[in-house]
Amino acid sequence: MRVDLERALLEKLGDLSTIKSKVDFWRSEGDKVVFTNGVFDLLHIGHITYMAKAANLGDRLVVGLNADSSVKRIKGESRPINDQANRSALLAALFFVDAVVIFEEDTPANLIGTLLPDILVKGADYTIDNIVGAKEVLDNGGEVKTIDLVEGYSSTSIIQRIQSQGS
């Protein structure tokens, strides 16, 4: 039996209200919810490794995805390379990602404050004192963890390599 891929992907995508309902349900079932966020413009092994490690910290992984408008403000007018519909579908296709929610703001502060995950995860290039939402998660009894990044992988460096090869 083939999986209805489109339906399976769509079930993982939602607005904040929809994802909040899922998180509340998962918690009522005793699941530990992990949250991370990012741009995830050109999905690479660094992203996959990072999110797989994050997923292993709990039972459900929710990914906050910067909207196109947010990416432009943060990374510049030439970004994102892939639009939010494509980026969210790629994330939803990962078996260890349980939900994807797009946010328009520059930071996921509102998302984190609403979802209040059991575990908030960022890369080890952050410290707990500069992780957005850390205080709210800790004040709610949750944990904040950092994960080592795979050295040498970033969307920015991949884009720069492509551009240098093209000139």
| Listed residue (105, 99, 46) closest to 71, CA to CA | 105
Six token digits for residue 64: 């906050």
Which residues are within 8 A (CB) of 64 and not within 5 positions of it... i.e. 6 or more apart? 35, 36, 37, 38, 101, 102, 103, 108, 111, 112
With 80 as the cut, is the pLDDT of residue 109 above it? Answer: yes
Query: How does pLDDT run across 53-108, given as a tens digit for each residue?
Result: 999 999 999 999 999 999 999 999 989 999 999 999 999 999 999 999 999 999 99
pTM of the model: 0.91
With 90 as the cut, is the pLDDT of residue 149 above it? Answer: no
- Confidence band (pLDDT; 50, 70, 90) for 156? low
Q: What is the pLDDT at residue 91? A: 97
- Tell me which fold the domain 5-166 belongs to: Rossmann fold (3.40.50)
Query: How does pLDDT run across 5-23, given as a tens digit for each residue?
Result: 678 788 999 999 999 999 9
